[in-house]
Amino acid sequence: MNILQKAVATGVKTIPRNGFMRHSSHFVYQPDAKPPVDGPTQKMNMFQAINQAMDIALEQNESALVFGEDVAFGGVFRCSMGLQKKYGKQRVFNTPLCEQGIAGFAIGVANTGAKAIAEMQFADYIFPAFDQIVNEAAKYRYRSGNLYDCGSLTFRAPCGAVGHGACYHSQSPEAYFAHTPGLKVVVPRGPNKAKGLLLACVKDNDPCIVFEPKTLYRAAVEEVPVAAFESPIGKADVLRVGTDVTLVGWGTQIHVLQEVATMAKKQLDVSCEVIDLVSILPWDKETICNSVKKTGRVLIAHEAPLTSGFGAELAATIQEECFLHLESPVLRVTGWDTPFPHVFEPFYIPDKHRCLAGIRKLIDF
């Protein structure tokens, strides 16, 4: 297959002068069928839902603080827009361009009892703060014998592919943090989950990281309850019931998998069960394993590279818990083991065509 054929097969438009042009989106957004709780709703995109969640947190808790690089004017993605004007410069404020300093301050202020909501401008920038988060925040309760803790500490970080982010604005680093007892890590698939998970994290007794797929900030639109509500941490969502193959993903990838499930039924007459993991740490082993025992086949898809991606943890657990129920080996469809590319992003991400090919491989095994 030459590059032109491959471009067409993966949905890339060709143009005469420049060779080919990329789509900025590799998915079709699938809104939740209904709001998570009863009551009045408002149509919101994901950054508006996150803004409302922080607004509620600041209103309900006088100790709550929102801070990070450029959050005072709304942030790069406008998630904190209007909050400083409403709550003042003492509670919503900019920080220096120093992720380690942001994390260190967040840990200290949370330790005094404040509810800290710290923004890392991009998940790619969180690595200078890795030591603070992993060696300080995550271990504070344990090493003090439960005398002190960093509960009510939440880090927000935009993550994942966006169409043009290249290697410093496209990474999905959830697996690095999933190896750390004491943290909780979640990834929303849209506005309702983003609001509910953020409010749950703010109230949680352990430090939390919310990785927000940045491409969904505006692309994801739903009817969101106006009132405060929480989405449970550690609980996966079965979005589509099926009998032949289990599809597991999180964040943006769940919308790819929902489209793939429709394609599989139409083209292969294969019934797919689609599960949004939602929570990376802790993760819902019961829901995943029950589904795999029913279908006998499982495909796990994520944007992060294959080697040591969080899909490897799922695959290992499924092999241990569901071995006698499996009709084929566990299959992972992921990003490649390379830095995240720019112009070749369409060939890097686990799009619907790669996932559908994976389903065919599972069925034909």
Residues acting as catalytic residues: 99, 169
Q: Does residue 170 contact residue 105 with C-beta atoms inside 8 Å? A: no
DSSP letter for 203, please. Answer: H
Q: What share of the chain is helix, strand, coil (3-state, %, to 5)?
A: 40, 20, 40
Q: CA–CA distance from 290 to each of 15, 284, 359 (Å)?
A: 47, 10, 19
| Burial bucket for residue 267 (CB in 10 Å: 0-12, 13-18, 19+) | exposed
Element (H, E) at 314: helix 310-322
Instruction: Measure the CA–CA gap between 21 and 108, rounded to whole angstroms.
Output: 47
Instruction: Measure the CA–CA gap between 277 and 280, rounded to whole angstroms.
Output: 7
Instruction: Measure the CA–CA gap between 342 and 364, rounded to whole angstroms.
Output: 34
Measured from the Cβ of residue 32, the count of other Cβ atoms closer than 10 Å reads 18
Q: Does residue 60 contact residue 205 with C-beta atoms inside 8 Å? A: no
Q: Does residue 86 contact residue 261 with C-beta atoms inside 8 Å? A: no
Measured from the Cβ of residue 227, the count of other Cβ atoms closer than 10 Å reads 11
